[in-house]
Amino acid sequence: MTSRGKFISLEGGEGVGKSTQVRALAEALRSRGIDVLVTREPGGSEGAEKIRELLLTGSDDRWSPHGEALLFAAARADHVAKTIRPALEAGQWVLSDRFVDSSLAYQGGAGGLGIEAVRAINAFGIGEWFPDRTLILSLDEGGERARARDTDGSDRIGGRPVVATGLFLQAAGLGYLASVITADASYGVQLPGLVISGVGMALFFAPASALVMSSVRASEQGIASGANNALREVGGALGIAIMSSIFAAQGGYETGQTFVDGLKPALVTGAALVAVAGFAALCIPGRRATERVERPETHARVLETAGH
């Protein structure tokens, strides 16, 4: 009869090197002839990977704290049933990059749901299949490493291309209007530019707010929300002021021709400003969903309280 394998999880805040240490530990165990399975959370099984996509995409407020905790527990239950338990029963050792202690720390501690409540829903899902040993990694500069790592992209930046596309469409619409408008231009000629700009504005506003909110720490989101609204309003007002000044300098309301003479350069300037904003949107760094409740000191304290 095959003896049951050992189950080891590695925990710690973002950027402490869990994935690196999991691989190193796996290599060390394999060098001793031990059959090792390396897995991760959230994920690790087909069903859990699907839930991972739900957890790590969308805006920061997509899930309530209770809903998020239940999703993590559901993913973990499938992970155990489909991956971890069969491997352990076959005699393999299982190494997991994060497991239930992450939920105790992030949802139970930092999320305010309570350690015992989160432990209970996870115990219901995984039964007796808790790790035999949990290794907690700590690194003072872990947060800085995580932010540097995620600069090129993260899970919650899906809105960034949409924001840029919306701005580029607005720029295209303004540019089109500048190219076709004349003193006697018909509404039908101008309509495509108005439609293109309108579609661009519709695409821009909601994703822009979500993008800004996903690019800051959770503790900074109250300030960021107000700053985001102020910046958008001030930026819009400034753009209109610049366009109005150019219109007044280059033309005026005296005749239809002077109106067009002022409007053309104003529209071109507006298109340039919006296009620059579109390129800027592509450069805004995002942050990982798991990091929005990133509090390494809370993580360590909760794990200590939980008896690890």
pLDDT, residue 90, reads 94
Residue that wins the pLDDT comparison between 95 and 243 = 95
Residue 126 counted as domain residue? yes
Asked if the model's pLDDT at residue 88 lies above 90, the reply is yes
Task: Give the containing element (helix H, strand E) for 135.
Answer: strand 133-136
Cα-trace Rg, the chain? 27
Number of structural domains (the chain) is 2
Whole-model pTM: value is: 0.50
In the block, tokens 């800027």 appear at 280
Q: Of 173, 196, 195, 177, which is closest to residue 185 (Cα–Cα)?
A: 177
For residue range 15-66, what is the model confidence (pLDDT) as tens digits? 677 888 889 999 999 999 999 999 999 899 999 999 988 888 777 678 888 9
Q: Are residues 224 and 129 in the same domain?
A: no
Are residues 24 and 141 both part of a single domain?
yes
List phi, psi (to 5°) of 184.
-120, 20
What is the model's pLDDT at position 236? 74
For residue 14, give its domain range.
7-145+295-305
Identify whether the C-beta of residue 75 lies closer than 8 Å to the C-beta of residue 41.
yes
Q: How far apart are CA 205 and CA 223, in angstroms?
A: 19
Tell whether 289 is covered by a domain. no
**In-domain check, residue 118:** yes
Residue 223 included in any domain: yes
